[in-house]
Structure 1
Amino acid sequence: MDCPITFRCPQTGSEVDAILRQPKEDCRFETVTCPACTRLHFIHTMTGALIPPTLLGPANWTP
């Protein structure tokens, strides 16, 4: 079952409504395309907490 959530966009600071898909057993995070800034944000499927971009590493990082 899909779950509606509201989170604060870290780029714009605005409140954003989104839909989280039903979490899979092995997946803890869901990517959501933010309508406020059009970027992807990672949201924890159980808590609804947003992962800060600083925890994801630098944007120019390549493996």
Structure 2
Amino acid sequence: MMECPIKFRCPHTGAEVDAILRQPTEACRCDTVTYATVPCPACTRFHFIHAVTGALIPPTLLGPASWTP
């Protein structure tokens, strides 16, 4: 695995967050989608980020357990 710095926008606070994402090497990449759990210092929650593209999964796609009133 390779560690890469990334920047993403926290979906809860809107803050720009710097993080380290562990990306799979070329040998590990396949058709399966791999997501990394990244702690967010802006909202103190975890976000799921696609390990290859760095795209953040919107909280609405995670289902009822991620919803907050």
Give the alignment's TM-score, normalised by structure 1. 0.84
Task: Name the structure 1 match of 2:45.
Answer: 39
Q: Given that residues 23 and 52 in structure 2 are in contact (C-alpha distance below 8 angstroms), is that contact kept between their aligned partners in structure 1?
A: no
Give % identity.
73
Cα RMSD between the aligned structures? Answer: 1.8
Per-residue CA deviation, residues 14-58 of structure 1 (Å, 9 max, x unaligned), is: 100000113273661000000100101000011110000100000
Q: Structure 1 pair 32/4, CA: closer, same or farther in 2 (3 Å)? A: same
Q: Which has the larger radius of gyration?
A: 2
Give the alignment's TM-score, normalised by structure 2. 0.77
| Count of aligned residue pairs for this structure pair | 60
Task: Give 5+ residue unaligned stretches, structure 1.
Answer: none
Query: Structure 2 matches for 1:19-30, cutoff 5 A?
Result: 19-23=20-24, 25=28, 28-30=34-36
Give how far 1:12 is off: 0.3
Find the aligned partners of 1:27 and 1:47 in 2 and give their Cα distance: 10
Q: Which 10-residue stretch deviates more, 16-25 or 4-13?
A: 16-25
Return structure 1 stretches of 4+ with deviation > 2 angstroms: 22-27
Q: Given that residues 49 and 55 in structure 2 are in contact (C-alpha distance below 8 angstroms), is that contact kept between their aligned partners in structure 1?
A: yes
